Amino acid sequence: MKSILLFGLALSISVFNVQAQEKEKAVREADSVKVVADSTVVEIDKDGEKKKVKIIFEYGKEEIDKRIKNSEGNDIVSEKTHRAGDDDDADGVFAGITFSRFDLGLAKMLNDGKLALTPENEFLEYRGWKSVNVGFDVLQMGYKFSDQFRMHIAAGFDWTHFRLEDDIIILEDTKPLSYTDSPISYSKNRFSSSYLRIPLSFELQTKASKSGDKIKLAVGPVMGVLLQGSQKFKSDEEGKRKVKDGFNFAPVTYGGFARLGVGSFGVYAKYYFNDMFIDSPDQEGLKNLSFGLMFFF
């Protein structure tokens, strides 16, 4: 999980660096820029070489969208080029690598809509404040209809970790889901699943405030494809030990989500409509809910 997080962060940094370099190059090559002020001409002294730069003052969206031309009449740079990489600037299709919608929250099991587990599922009792959900998106593609509405589909990773209360071992390759009591006292007994998540977002946002932040609301369906199930143990007798298996986790999940934020931060909630486990009659009606904080909206 740490390697995937670092990989996503490295990709994002490299993309931002490339965009910044292209933006800087475009500004260096341009003979003129646009600002909002009174008309004037300024002199720039760079490495002992003085160069006069004419500052063009124009007003209105149509004027801003015109391309700036050099003295030979060739297109050099447009106002949109100065903001390369910001898909909020222009309506239309956008796609690419991202490191966004980083979720960090609590994970809950709902048993027939209730937080309390039935007697058949009490072996899955977990520590509420140490059972967490972590996830983020790495790819996205969508269409911006206006400054207030866009939709996009994304792909990313989602982990759910339940810190079990009892010293039990979930049995591998068994149907239905089964367990055995362990003679070892574990300081950590974590039962986990990881999914490839594919959310479809319908996003509304307000106009930017004076600080430049926007209030955003996103809702939509989400699907997950199982990558791996695991159980991780920590004890004085065994040290750290991890077992990987499907553990009857549903191979495909589907549900809905909601996100609300200001600027780059917010809150989220995700609920999956289908059962967490398959081929396990006692676990029918056991579903996954998560909610918490979100970063990089």
29-41: pLDDT as tens digits: 444 444 444 444 5
Instruction: Give the pLDDT score at 91.
Output: 83
Are 201 and 259 found together in one domain? yes
pTM of the model: 0.72
Are 72 and 126 found together in one domain? no
Question: Which has more pLDDT, 85 or 159?
Answer: 159
Averaged over 233-238, what is the pLDDT?
A: 95
Q: How confident is the model at residue 88 (pLDDT cuts 50, 70, 90)?
A: low
Considering the chain, what is the average pLDDT of its residues?
A: 82
pLDDT of 266 > 80? The answer is yes
3-state helix, strand, coil in the chain (%, to 5): 15, 55, 30
Question: Which has more pLDDT, 8 or 127?
Answer: 127
Q: CA-CA distances (angstroms) from residue 227 to 67, 184, 192? A: 48, 29, 11
Are 49 and 122 found together in one domain? no
Are 33 and 159 found together in one domain? no
Instruction: Give the pLDDT score at 58.
Output: 47
Return d(Cα 287, Cα 114) in angstroms, integer: 10
Instruction: Give the pLDDT score at 131.
Output: 98
Are 177 and 282 found together in one domain? yes
Structure tokens belonging to residue 75: 């297109």
Question: Which CATH number fits the domain that encloses residue 176?
Answer: 2.40.160
pLDDT of 269 > 70? The answer is yes
User: Do the domain assignments include residue 10?
Assistant: no
User: Do the domain assignments include residue 109?
Assistant: yes
User: Do the domain assignments include residue 12?
Assistant: no
Are 65 and 130 found together in one domain? no
Question: In 3-state terms, what secondary structure has residue 47?
Answer: coil
User: Do the domain assignments include residue 5?
Assistant: no
Are 167 and 25 found together in one domain? no
User: Do the domain assignments include residue 287?
Assistant: yes
User: Do the domain assignments include residue 270?
Assistant: yes
User: Do the domain assignments include residue 75?
Assistant: yes
Are 111 and 39 found together in one domain? no
Last residue in a domain, options 31, 52, 83:
83
Return d(Cα 139, Cα 152) in angstroms, integer: 10
Return d(Cα 88, Cα 147) in angstroms, integer: 7
Return d(Cα 262, Cα 88) in angstroms, integer: 15
Are 66 and 100 found together in one domain? no
pLDDT in tens, 113-129: 999 999 999 999 999 99
Residue 39 lies in domain: 18-83
Question: Which has more pLDDT, 57 or 97?
Answer: 97
Last residue in a domain, options 83, 107, 126:
83
Are 259 and 290 found together in one domain? yes
Averaged over 72-86, what is the pLDDT?
A: 39
Q: How many domains does the chain have?
A: 2
pLDDT of 67 > 60? The answer is no
Last residue in a domain, options 68, 83, 98:
83
User: Do the domain assignments include residue 2?
Assistant: no
Are 25 and 136 found together in one domain? no
Return d(Cα 213, Cα 261) in angstroms, integer: 10
Are 76 and 152 found together in one domain? no
Question: Which has more pLDDT, 17 or 231?
Answer: 231
Least confident of 79-83, 97-101, 108-112, 261-265: 79-83
Least confident of 8-22, 159-173, 268-282: 8-22
Q: How confident is the model at residue 44 (pLDDT cuts 50, 70, 90)?
A: low
